[in-house]
Structure 1
């Protein structure tokens, strides 16, 4: 009926049935025996320590005690009925109490029997008791899942608990699957990999992850399952990369011509950093290989990624191709358009912009010019992927803040030329190395790790609410020097749930501190109409206002070199990555810039760590590593929907060595056996074939 008993739907497992099977699917996403077997414990309770009764104290979370049932009695009637057991060891006596499952207690907990009682000790009237303890016969019963010194705890939900599928209930179901079907578990990794890294078999790993005999066995199981998880992610990513290089030919950019030479020798207003030169060289080599380039540029805020992208687009133009640049927001698209257009003149390259606000008349003309090849560089938002937008000869696509776009959105741009264009993706969100290997493992990665010459590191200060007058005084000093100031709030209007200084209240406070007409204030937030937002931003850019009060809408896409102060209100409410992005709005000119983090006096340990990190370092990659440890990969990148980061076992912040081993193994594997034709790699070939068929089926359905 099923290819393997492990493929059997859970409805057929003893003790499940249709209702519980439906609940397990809805709440945990598991439908088969194998999927439940892959629902791993998220922690373990150490059952190696035994307490004597005279060692108990009420601060202990959970304890286990070996003792004898010296007395047992039923007290009360009907709903007040309970069973009281006197439990004794050589040091004293305690009480065990049950208010539920009384029939089971009557039949199974016998007077004179020796047991292990496990639970939370409570002190009442100078005597200890445990309510509803877990009870095991002493000595423990041996067996494949016996002798548990580490008690597995499983993720469950309130709905599952109501159907008696708490952690213990899930454990019982997994125990049953292991007893009946563990010998049907098939190995997924080749023998030579298991031997090289001294990994236990998959069967052994599954037994020990659910029912570990000891800490060493648990560590072996975790290592095996983490390696397997990371290995198959890398196998898929590097297989995709290999396929793309075999399947997609790329335009040849052999010519370094008039456009790029004129720009570099006569227009570029500053010296490129060594990091920028290195990345441009990597792009040059990529575009001469005859295969489609897929390169990610990582660079901290203000590191000069846009200039690298512009020179790459001019390289495409020099070789007879058009280029386009897609940004996630209109603000950022316009920022890129203005900075590119201001550097170039129409004689060197014709630059145009297309957004959702481009008028119908402008669009019609733009579409005609684009198809005629009269536009060299097109900058825009999601509007670029519309079917009506057709290029004469698109050779390079630049995608900024690429994690904000879906895979399908990006792919639409790639299909706008018969020969797929080269792809350059950029991010100003520094990504830890482990995360880059997992998220972008199929891309070549370039890092711009230098700031342009003359840029001074931003000084960051952390002030508490009681120091607000000091902050206002500092703002006045900077504005008196002719500088401008950002003030960012996490909320627009007052929230009943969160006691945060909100934007409206902040503006009122500002007007008290800076009586008009001495200072002009721009107000920008996400709920404003686009036209109003653009108007207010432009006033600030033009220097007509000295202070911009805003929400995080200004996180990306505002470049005002004269702005020297960034004040972040309720800074403890922001993530590290967001704080770093906001700080990057200043420090864009030659003058010293400052970031002031305002917070409440009482801070939790994570909030304190975030603010201390911001004060201590300007290094985005260092910040990203700490952010990864605090928040996890999905939160940092917003990429849970990609499926890449649905990790059951591995932790990218902690398992860097295992990830590197897994990636190196796959690289070596494809170097020796690109088509996986060796019998040793038949398991891996079968896995990739199944994945390819599954992805194709998903697209059809």
Structure 2
């Protein structure tokens, strides 16, 4: 459909008008013809086969029957009036019932004639019945209208139904749209791509996805539109990446000097894993190209991202630059600061911590040292982007858990240098490959996919309520060894009272189980003041308490190496990624660590899959893949609201192969024709400009 026709306001479509247009806009975000065209059916009702009366079961969805009408009768008085029609095939009789539109149907139905009946079957008084079926006179040998196809079903709402826009009503509008404007649907992919991937034409694909003649046509239509959607998504992301490298020059880190070498040879407490070495190599190459680096570093909890980030910062120092690391919370920033200080030791580099709670007196000194270049590395929270924080020569910015920062906040950081600093974005949330290719497709992605050799994998067990005594016995054994334990209760949004009750009941039972003097429990919940919460956390961190009971999820990054057991109560109420993050709170010391998932006996299918997955694997990427299949990609990346993953046809959980094909072909195109200037790519250039108008992307810089 050419752009002009595509963008016609929906009220101008025959059968819509102003009031229906309003409700379509509000309920389905359909503003123009293109939006209706891209409203894809969520399922198809099979009208390609006829059922025999004797084969019909009461739990079947819609069925189609070929039967001869043998009688009709209007029964009941005024309010109970109904039309009952008996029809039969060679296997039995089916009763058809109408409670509305009786006069009109009664005129239309002629005993002795054969009809195509279509509806949802039921059983009434021991008879097979079909209330309010669709009826169509059967003409042997003639092309039947409305049957022998896969019938589309569209999502509707109560509001839409008030305007007769149920699935059937929407189907009528789509039919009108295709009849009147089908010829205007223009191709937007070059011939060489269509031929190479054996794609159906665009106009044919839209007809085929709304009104497929059969399953084969539907499959081909879906493949074509999925490919197109993912192709333009990748074209957008990779074009951004290309523009970025052309537009933003970067500092060249060509020296590996004393800071890096001294740390690598004399201070590194353990050998780097192969994955860490590979990532460092990728970053080294990036920072030598004279282009601003934009790299995402993914790694599971405990995989050693902080060490890699530190070594990159030392590389910046060797080349005469300063570096900073920004974390979303004070606890996490403080932990990065402490970790880096313990790794580098005293007197090696000048490093400071800047958060909201740093006193004014200390801030002044930090600002001065930063401006005259004496301060090498600044670690902090949002405080790093305040206007008064000025760097002498900022060369590298490390951002931890970047999805917690807005675009403006990140942009502010890299405007603090004449040449934009290199950006290294870290996340401990494993993101499935397909999602990373779409969410962060304009970034280069590095993955640390192995744990350091001194880390023992956490052993995970699933216990039902009936095994609680066994769990208490295990807790006693671990505490006797001098270990510490987390016990986490789910936060039930609707009910703080219930949260607290669960927590208090749990503590009472625990106190009965641990009556021995010398055992102490820290308690953290939403009702506590921030200072009290911090004090309770600190008691646990210092080892003054053996058990930490919490309703609030323990802050990402809290590091207590002596805590070796994580018990998660009502584990079925947590999402997979949340369970995985919680499990990552233990296993930080040299001792064997455990995660115990407590649940009720009865579990939903999804709940069972989640808990089984946790027991089966420690691999965050495998867990993220399962999570995406259960929850959908929008939820897992928190992009449901942002519109980034506004995919209508493609599904990242099932269409990984199509995404890979689309991305590969886009990479090939940009290698040969970065400006899309070749004659065969003009069609892409036009379509890209049109699509690009309305898209906003959460970019790193």
Structure 1 length-normalised TM: 0.94
Most deviating of 285-294 and 84-93: 84-93
Partner SS, residue 187 of structure 2: coil
Q: Does 1:97 align with 2:97?
A: yes
Query: What residue number does 1:680 align with?
Result: 680
Take 2:215 and 2:572, find their aligned partners in 1: how far apart are those partners? 38
Residues of 2 paired with 1:255 and 1:366: CA distance?
A: 27
Q: Secondary structure at the match of 2:553?
A: helix
Question: Which digits, 9 at most, give the CA deviation of each residue in 1:472-517, with x for residues without a partner?
Answer: 1101100110111111111379949989983233223222222364
Q: Aligned residue for 2:422?
A: 422
Match of 1:378 in 2: 378
Summarize the Cα distance change of 1:692–1:173 in structure 2 as closer, same or farther, 3 Å threshold. Answer: closer
State the shift of 1:462 in Å. Answer: 0.4
- Greater alpha carbon shift after TM alignment, 261-270 vs 655-664: 261-270
Give the superposition deviation at 1:354.
Answer: 2.4
Q: CA deviation at 1:697?
A: 13
Residues 372 and 110 of structure 1: is their aligned pair in 2 closer, same or farther, counting only changes over 3 Å? Answer: farther
Q: Using a 3 Å threshold, how does the CA distance of structure 1 residues 696 and 300 change in structure 2: closer, same or farther?
A: closer
Q: Partner residue of 2:545? A: 545
CA distance in 1, matches of 2:139, 2:360: 82
Deviations 1:220-278 (A, max 9, x none): 00000110111011101110111111110011111222222222222222221121111
Q: Is the 8 A contact 1:432 1:625 kept in 2?
A: yes
> How do 1:287-298 residues align onto structure 2 when only pairs under 5 Å count?
287-298=287-298
Question: 1:138: which partner in 2?
Answer: 138
Partner of 2:534: 534
Q: Secondary structure at the residue paired with 1:250?
A: coil
CA RMSD of aligned residues (A): 2.5
Give the direction of change, closer, same or farther, for the CA distance of 1:144–1:663 in structure 2 (3 Å limit): farther
The answer on 1:170 being equivalent to 2:170 is yes
Preserved CA contact (<8 Å) 1:147 1:213 = no
Deviation at residue 142 of structure 1 after TM alignment: 8.2
Cα distance in 1 for partners of 2:38, 2:305 equals 42
The number of residues matched between the two structures is 698
Secondary structure at the residue paired with 2:275? helix
The answer for the alignment partner of 1:329 in structure 2 is 329
Please give the per-residue CA displacement for 1:187-210, whole angstroms capped at 9, x wherever unaligned.
Answer: 111111000000001100000100
Q: Deviations over 1:154-199 (max 9, x none)?
A: 1111111222111111111101111111000011111110000000
Q: What does residue 455 of structure 1 align with?
A: 455
Unaligned 5+ segments in structure 1 are none
Aligned partners of 1:248, 1:525: CA distance in 2, in Å?
46
Cα 1:500–1:617 shift into 2, 3 Å = farther
| Contact 2:206-2:221 within 8 A present in 1 as well | yes
Please name the residue that 1:556 is paired with: 556
1:667 matched to 2:660? The reply is: no
Any idea what the Cα deviations from partners look like across 1:53-101, whole Å, max 9, x if unmatched? 2222323333221113333333334433322222222333222112223
CA spacing shift, 1:595–1:98, aligned 2, 3 Å = same
Q: How far has the Cα of 1:148 moved from its partner?
A: 4.5
Using the TM superposition, name which of 2-11 and 239-248 deviates more.
Answer: 2-11
Q: Structure 1's 139 and 576: CA in aligned 2 closer, same or farther, altered over 3 A?
A: farther
* Aligned twin of 1:270: 270
Q: Distance in 2 between matches of 1:132 and 1:61?
A: 14
Counterpart for residue 216 of structure 2: 216
Q: Which residue does the alignment assign to 2:655?
A: 655
Matches within 5 A, 1:248-647: 248-345=248-345, 347-491=347-491, 495=495, 502-515=502-515, 517-554=517-554, 556-647=556-647
Closer/same/farther in 2, CA of residues 286 and 30 from structure 1, 3 Å limit: same
Deviations 1:109-163 (A, max 9, x none): 4444432222222222221111122233335998898554211111111111222
> How many angstroms apart in 1 are the aligned matches of 2:142 and 2:225?
25
Partner residue, 1:68: 68
SS at match of 1:97: strand
Q: Deviations over 1:630-686 (max 9, x none)?
A: 111111121234433121111112111111100000000001101100111112212
Moved more, 168-177 or 632-641: 632-641
Q: After alignment, is 394-403 or 220-229 more displaced?
A: 394-403
Q: Distance in 1 between matches of 2:64 and 2:222?
A: 26
Q: Secondary structure at the match of 1:553?
A: coil
